[in-house]
């Protein structure tokens, strides 16, 4: 491995800290992410149609999704009976686990002046140490950004957890057609996260990008309220994906850089818990809203919530320091 035998200079992080000079680490991370998302979308694409075959309506399907979110939030995976997709998902996730243990360094965060230094002899926090989590959230600038991440992303989470039902009942798509739409969805995710956000970050600060993501969320919400066809949704999808990706990437970057190296894992865990939290309360609420008001309600909720968040950001903007998204 290049540079493995090089002496460590004073003030440099130990081997395994940072990814500079080792691009294969980022490559493996992209591979793992691709495998995980592939398996996830495979499951999402078949569960609604299986639910329809079993006679479940949209509200009952919401209860099913809520149950999934509860177990995901608690960290306990729920395995059903083996279907061909489940076997493939198991094998690919097993491959991902092997790559994680053998190829990914224990820590990839480089020590920097932006993060807080670890105090000498600081004990490691327990996984279930609520005091440590509270301490992180109460650090300067952390709680407002975390709340923006949760509140601004919740309406889009409502829509995404009900997206499969909307494909069947509103767009009238067959399972294969829904799969093509999800593939387009994944392609936009890849381009936005891999190219667009990185280029924008060279010219704009994280605070500006966060405001832009919330503003685009508002515009997409207004347009979604009058959405009438799958073609209309495909036109809106690039803006939807841009806002979703930018919100997640920028807030994760701000939050992880605000804490010390030893707290990075805890903060990443908090960030990752937002999606399971949405999947816990979102499906039941989304199912009730969908049955009572139809698809336009998701656009109205997205516009209203993000408009309020945008007002808060304009009144109390984040520091406009140009920090590179990690």
Parse the chain into domains and list their residue ranges: 24-97+132-315
pLDDT band per the 50, 70, 90 thresholds, residue 264: confident
104 or 57: whose pLDDT is higher? 57
Percent of the chain with pLDDT over 90: 22
> Residue 131 — pLDDT band, cuts 50, 70, 90?
confident
Compute the distance between CA of residue 15 and CA of residue 5 in angstroms, rounded to an integer: 10
Q: Do residues 66 and 284 lie in contact, with contact meaning Cβ atoms separated by under 8 Å?
A: yes
pLDDT of residue 96: 67
Averaged pLDDT of the chain: 75
d(CA 162, CA 286): 7
Average pLDDT for 290-314? 93
Q: How confident is the model at residue 320 (pLDDT cuts 50, 70, 90)?
A: low
Domain 24-97+132-315 has CATH 1.20.1250.20: yes
Q: Which residue has the higher pLDDT, 298 or 107?
A: 298
Residue 21 pLDDT > 60? no
CB 154 within 8 A of CB 247: no
Average pLDDT on 231-253 reads 92
| Cα separation, 292 vs 311, whole angstroms | 29
Q: What pTM value is reported for the model? A: 0.66
Distance, CA of 38 to chain centre: 15
- Average pLDDT for residues 181-200, to the nearest whole number? 83
C-alpha to C-alpha distances, 79 to 36, 38, 76, 86, nearest whole angstrom: 16, 17, 10, 9
| Token representation of residue 57 | 């309506």
pLDDT at 133 over 70: yes
Residue 172 DSSP SS3? coil
Least confident of 76-80, 102-106, 122-126, 204-208: 76-80
Instruction: Please state, as a whole number, how many other Cβ atoms lie within 10 Å of the Cβ of residue 32.
Output: 19
Rounded Cα gap, residues 302 and 300, in angstroms: 5
Tell me the per-residue pLDDT of 51-89, one tens digit each, with 9 for 90 and over.
666 666 666 666 666 666 666 555 434 444 446 555 666
pLDDT score recorded for residue 300: 96
pLDDT at 182: 77
Integer angstrom CA distances of residue 310 from 3, 144, 258, 315, 316 = 46, 13, 22, 9, 10
Per-residue pLDDT reduced to its tens digit, 191-203: 888 788 888 988 8
Q: Is the pLDDT at 181 greater than 80, yes or no?
A: yes
pLDDT class of 265 with cuts at 50, 70, 90: confident
């Amino acid at each position: 491995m290049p540079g493995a035998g090089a002496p460590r200079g004073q003030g440099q992080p130990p081997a395994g800290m940072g990814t500079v000079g080792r691009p294969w680490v980022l490559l493996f991370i992209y591979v793992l992410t691709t495998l995980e998302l592939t398996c996830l979308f495979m499951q999402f694409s078949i569960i609604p149609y299986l639910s329809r075959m079993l006679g479940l309506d949209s509200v009952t399907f919401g209860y099913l999704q809520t149950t999934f979110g509860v177990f995901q939030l608690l960290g306990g995976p729920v395995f059903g009976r083996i279907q061909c997709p489940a076997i493939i998902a198991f094998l690919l996730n097993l491959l991902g686990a092997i790559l994680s243990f053998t190829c990914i360094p224990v820590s990839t965060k480089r020590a920097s002046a932006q993060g807080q230094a670890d105090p000498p002899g600081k004990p490691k926090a327990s996984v279930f140490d609520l005091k440590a989590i509270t301490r992180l959230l109460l650090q300067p600038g952390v709680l407002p950004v975390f709340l923006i991440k949760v509140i601004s992303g919740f309406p889009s989470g409502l829509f995404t957890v009900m997206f499969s039902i909307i494909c069947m009942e509103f767009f009238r798509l067959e399972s294969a057609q829904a799969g093509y739409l999800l593939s387009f969805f994944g392609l936009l995710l890849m381009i936005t996260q891999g190219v667009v956000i990185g280029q924008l970050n060279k010219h704009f600060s994280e605070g500006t990008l966060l405001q832009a993501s919330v503003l685009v969320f508002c515009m997409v919400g207004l347009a979604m309220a009058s959405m009438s066809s799958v073609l209309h949704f495909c036109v809106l999808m690039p803006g939807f994906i841009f806002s979703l990706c930018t919100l997640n990437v920028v807030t994760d970057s701000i939050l992880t850089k605000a804490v010390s190296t030893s707290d990075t894992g805890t903060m990443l865990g908090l960030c990752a818990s937002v999606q399971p939290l949405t999947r816990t309360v979102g499906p039941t609420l989304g199912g009730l809203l969908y049955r009572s008001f139809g698809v336009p309600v998701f656009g109205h909720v997205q516009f209203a919530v993000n408009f309020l968040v945008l007002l808060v950001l304009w009144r109390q903007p984040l520091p406009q320091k140009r920090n590179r998204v990690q």
